[in-house]
Amino acid sequence: MKRALSLFRDLLNFLPGSAPTQWEAPRSTNGSVPVFVIVAGFQAQERPLSVIRKRFLKDGFNVVVISMDWLSLSDGIIGLAHMAKRLSGVLLHLRKTTGMRSQVYLVGHSAGGLIARYYVQLLGGSHYCDALVTLGTPHHGTWIALLGFFSHLIVKGRCLFQLLPISPFIRRLNRAAFPSDFPVVSMFSRDDFFCSHDELAAGRVDNVELGRLSHSDFLLSKRAYRELLRRLDIRPINAALSKDALGAKENPPLPA
């Protein structure tokens, strides 16, 4: 019953929902505090993103939530590679803000993991971040993306096609190598309806299987969050952050 409810919740991603569309970032960052950049997936919902964001903040980390503008028709036409270039602009902005001092970790959920991989593997992103963690990412594509062609998501046709296992985007991504000595953690679950048992076999990748997690549970589960920190060998700072570092809604969006 619980698994059926999790599946139903994940399928709600194919319905129009309240997905955050703005860049959400701290105005200022403490150069001694690690920054976690969360790259949201396709049709990301606000609640799961807010849960994992609050956990990072509670533990004293700086957080940037990047919700790709899936509602923009231009992004649907240009595709995932264009979104990776937008991610590159955000990382450059962060490095200038922190003076290249802070450790920056990319956390990509679902298709957000593919965008983060493209940035690291093909756009030289490893020079601007310290590690990549993917959560429930369809590294070899997913046929579930076909469902999007029968919903309002058809306006994102190019992105949907790029998520299919036969797409040139997926093939190119899996032919590209990760930079040497760059830490990559791929967390997956056999109970994830969207990309069950999708290990990443490129280079020195730490594949982590977590049981009894649905697709959205990777953002909601405290167990997944703690495992993420453990794999990166990071302990909570538990330092009180100033209001300027909380990424409030009134903060101006970062440049695209």
Answer whether residue 124 shows pLDDT above 90: yes
Please report the pLDDT score of residue 23 as a whole number: 46
Q: Domain for residue 91, yes or no? A: yes
Q: Domain for residue 114, yes or no? A: yes
Residue 21 neighbours by CB distance under 10 Å: 15
Of the candidate ranges 144-158, 193-207, 232-246, the one whose mean pLDDT is the lowest: 232-246
Whichever domain contains 39, its CATH number is: 3.40.50.1820
Of the candidate ranges 136-140, 167-171, 240-244, the one whose mean pLDDT is the lowest: 240-244
Q: Domain for residue 243, yes or no? A: no
Give me the number of domains the chain comprises. 1
Q: Domain for residue 72, yes or no? A: yes
Per-residue pLDDT band at 123 (split at 50, 70, 90): very high
Per the listing, tokens 């899936």 go with 70
Answer whether residue 251 shows pLDDT above 50: no
Q: Domain for residue 247, yes or no? A: no
Which residue has better confidence, 99 or 106?
A: 106
Answer whether residue 48 shows pLDDT above 90: no
Q: Domain for residue 242, yes or no? A: no
Q: Domain for residue 255, yes or no? A: no
**Domain span at 117:** 2-235
Q: Domain for residue 37, yes or no? A: yes
